[in-house]
């Protein structure tokens, strides 16, 4: 601790006042994040960075612009400074639909660099005072959220987003990247490394109400946004499940658009265009995406495996031969 404190105090910061806050005892990860959030009461807004992040020189410009632009929208709960590039459940690439903005919106409390206004944090704090902090099966979140340890705070924040119908604003080009240093939850990894936007000073920020790139906690586009892009499902109440991660309990509607297997689909689409939704909008012929009744979901193990195989094959642009695999294995072993 003494070495950390000495490093912090010696660090040169020529851009304004620097304060080093020293706690009398370790707070733990969750309490420490919440204590940092409470600093909005003193400063009006904060940028919250964890210790394994590297930031773009344009980070402050983006954060200040986004905080000001969305300050009066009660449905915005925070600003992400990181462009989430993967699906949190399947770990497949995640590509938000392109519209006229440099941002998209999602009900995921992503933690790799955030910014809040005092009003945004106060709303979360007030909700937290009476909320059931445990993630329950009835919360409308993926079952994986029930397995996170108590040292994780973002499942609770994501529950808050879902229960209050709020969203984070995400940049399409990241202002932070993560070195994945070993810590409480990770043993050294480069999985979270992303390109940084280091040149852009002006960002096309658009209101939540004007965007079609709006996603729920399953990283699925909201049905209302899908309706803006195609009229194929007019008259149907449906759930979007293009990543195939929803259990029956998390499909509350009579109809579903999914990559899971359906026994008698009303419509089918191929798996060729990118992102996944493009196959639906342009009515790409083929199999892989189905629209039909939720009761027709095929839950037999071989049907689930076949659907999962199609889904993962979609993201493999080029198959690696046995010779190349052997070279890679040998290179890693020698290294």
For 200-261, the DSSP string reads --------GGG-S-EE-TTS-B-HHHHHHH--TTTT--EEEETT----GGG--SSEEEESS-
pTM of the model: 0.94
Chain position carrying tokens 């690696």: 320
Q: How many H-runs (helices) and E-runs (strands) does the chain carry?
A: 10, 12
pLDDT in tens, 130-178: 999 999 999 999 999 999 988 899 999 999 999 999 999 999 999 999 9
Measured torsion, CA atoms of residues 279, 281, 286, 292, in degrees rounded to the nearest 10: 110
pLDDT band at 183 (very low <50, low <70, confident <90, very high): low
Per the CB < 8 A criterion, the answer to whether 83 and 177 are in contact is no
- d(C-alpha 116, C-alpha 161), whole Å: 14
Is the separation of the CB atoms in 114 and 123 below 8 Å?
A: no
Tokens of 205: 């920020």
Of 28, 73, 61, 55, whose CA–CA distance to 169 is shortest?
Answer: 73
Task: Give 3-state DSSP helix, strand, coil % of the chain, rounded to 5.
Answer: 35, 15, 50
Residue 174, helix vs strand vs coil: strand
pLDDT at 302 over 90: yes
- The mean pLDDT value of the chain amounts to 94
Q: Which fold has domain 37-215?
A: Spore Coat Polysaccharide Biosynthesis Protein SpsA; Chain A (3.90.550)
> What does the DSSP assignment read for 285-310?
-SSSEEEEEGGGB---HHHHHHHHHH
> Average pLDDT in the 231-246 region?
98
Predicted confidence band at 329 (pLDDT cuts at 50, 70, 90)? Answer: confident
- CA distances in angstroms from 250 to 164, 205, 295, 335, listed in the order given: 17, 32, 13, 45
Predicted pLDDT at 1: 63
Write down the residue that tokens 């999962």 correspond to: 308
DSSP for 41-72, please give it: HHHSEEEE--TTEEE-TTHHHHHHHHHHHTTT
Domain with CATH 3.90.550 in the chain: 37-215
Whether pLDDT at 321 is above 90: no
Query: Is residue 306 very low, low, confident or very high in pLDDT (cuts 50, 70, 90)?
Result: very high
Q: Are 110 and 77 in contact (CB under 8 A)?
A: no
Q: Which two tokens stand for residue 242?
A: 């293009």
Q: Give the N- to C-terminal CA distance of the chain in Å, as an integer.
A: 35
Arithmetic mean of pLDDT, 65-75: 98
Dig out the tokens for 132 from the structure.
Answer: 């059931």
Whole-angstrom distance, CA of residue 45 vs CA of residue 194: 26
Compute the distance between CA of residue 190 and CA of residue 157 in angstroms, rounded to an integer: 25
CB-based contact 102:171 (threshold 8 Å): yes
């Amino acid at each position: 601790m003494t070495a950390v404190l000495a490093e912090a105090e010696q660090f040169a910061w020529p851009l304004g006042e620097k304060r080093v806050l020293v706690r009398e005892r370790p707070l733990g990860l969750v309490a420490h994040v919440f204590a940092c959030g409470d600093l909005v009461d003193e400063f009006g807004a904060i940028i919250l960075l964890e210790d394994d992040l590297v930031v773009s020189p344009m980070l402050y410009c983006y954060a200040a612009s986004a905080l000001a632009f969305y300050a009066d929208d009660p449905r915005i709960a925070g600003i992400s400074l990181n462009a989430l590039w993967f699906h949190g459940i399947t770990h497949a690439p995640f590509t938000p639909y392109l519209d006229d903005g440099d941002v998209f919106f999602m009900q995921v409390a992503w933690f790799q660099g955030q910014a809040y206004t005092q009003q945004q944090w106060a709303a979360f704090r007030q909700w937290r005072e009476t909320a059931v902090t445990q993630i329950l099966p009835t919360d409308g979140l993926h079952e994986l959220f029930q397995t996170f340890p108590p040292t994780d705070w973002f499942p609770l924040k994501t529950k808050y987003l879902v229960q209050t119908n709020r969203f984070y604003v995400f940049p399409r080009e990241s202002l932070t990247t993560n070195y994945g240093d070993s810590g409480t939850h990770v043993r050294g990894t480069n999985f979270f490394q992303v390109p940084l936007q280091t040149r852009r000073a002006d960002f096309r920020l658009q209101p939540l109400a004007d965007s079609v790139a709006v996603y729920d906690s399953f990283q699925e586009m909201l049905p209302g946004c899908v309706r803006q892009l195609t009229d194929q499902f007019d008259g149907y109440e449906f759930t979007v499940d293009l990543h195939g991660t929803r259990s029956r309990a998390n499909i509350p509607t009579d109809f579903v658009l999914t990559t899971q297997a359906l026994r008698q689909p009303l419509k089918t689409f191929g798996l060729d265009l990118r992102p996944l939704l493009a196959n639906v909008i342009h009515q790409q012929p083929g199999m892989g995406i189905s629209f039909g009744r939720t009761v027709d979901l095929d839950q037999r193990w071989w049907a689930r495996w076949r659907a999962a195989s199609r889904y993962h094959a979609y993201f493999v642009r080029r198959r690696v031969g046995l010779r190349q695999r052997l070279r890679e294995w040998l290179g890693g072993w020698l290294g």
